[in-house]
Amino acid sequence: MQANDLGALSVFLTVAEERNFTRTAKRLGVTPSAISHAMRDLEETIGVRLLSRTTRSVALTDAGERLRARLRPAFAEIDQAVGQVASLRNQPAGRVRLLVPRHESDGSGARGLRAGEGARPTNRTEAVCWRRRSAISLADIRILCST
């Protein structure tokens, strides 16, 4: 199966729930003909008849019932995974970099920042110090703490 067949499998699950191409089409915002073609293409790809069609209804074949039984929990898990990841969009995440002069960097500030990471586990904290107060060059930078 190709990755784009996941869409056809999702349509199949909707057809299995609705048992009707017209209701499935309305639910998905497409035409009944598009649903019919998608199901025919899926059956051809798999090589097994999944649906028994009449002019008024659609019923699952034994193979269709087996496929629905396997797909339903898999798609529920996919929905849950996407939902978990989508919930991260409103949480700040990233790197907090604190640049301090060496004489002020006994590490306590970095430890305090690291302790605060527990509330925001998606943040990474780095404390960086330089050896002298003059202009900073890459040779002058030393990483105290990195998580």
Q: What is the pLDDT of residues 68-94, one digit of tens each?
A: 999 999 999 999 999 988 888 877 666
Cα–Cα distance for residue pair 85/123, rounded to 1 Å: 16
Q: Which pLDDT score, from 0 to 100, does residue 33 have?
A: 95
Cβ–Cβ under 8 Å, residues 71 and 12: yes
For the cut 70, the answer to whether the pLDDT of residue 102 exceeds it is no
E strands present in the chain: 51-53, 58-60, 94-101, 123-130, 141-146
- Name which CATH class applies to 5-88: mainly alpha
Band of the pLDDT at 140, cuts 50, 70, 90? very low
Q: Which pLDDT score, from 0 to 100, does residue 91 have?
A: 73
Q: Hey, where are the domains in the chain? A: 5-88, 92-146
Return the higher-pLDDT residue of 20 and 106. 20
Q: What is the pTM of this model?
A: 0.60
Beta strand 51-53 pairing with 94-101? unpaired
Q: What percent of the chain has pLDDT over 70?
A: 59
For the cut 90, the answer to whether the pLDDT of residue 65 exceeds it is yes
Q: Which pLDDT score, from 0 to 100, does residue 22 have?
A: 94
b/e map 28-42, b = 16+ CB within 10 Å: beeeeeebbebbeeb
For the cut 50, the answer to whether the pLDDT of residue 147 exceeds it is no
Average pLDDT for 14-40: 95
Edge-first strand listing for the sheet containing 94-101: 94-101, 123-130, 141-146
Average pLDDT for 25-32: 96
The least confident of 5-9, 72-76, 112-116 is 112-116
For the cut 50, the answer to whether the pLDDT of residue 144 exceeds it is no
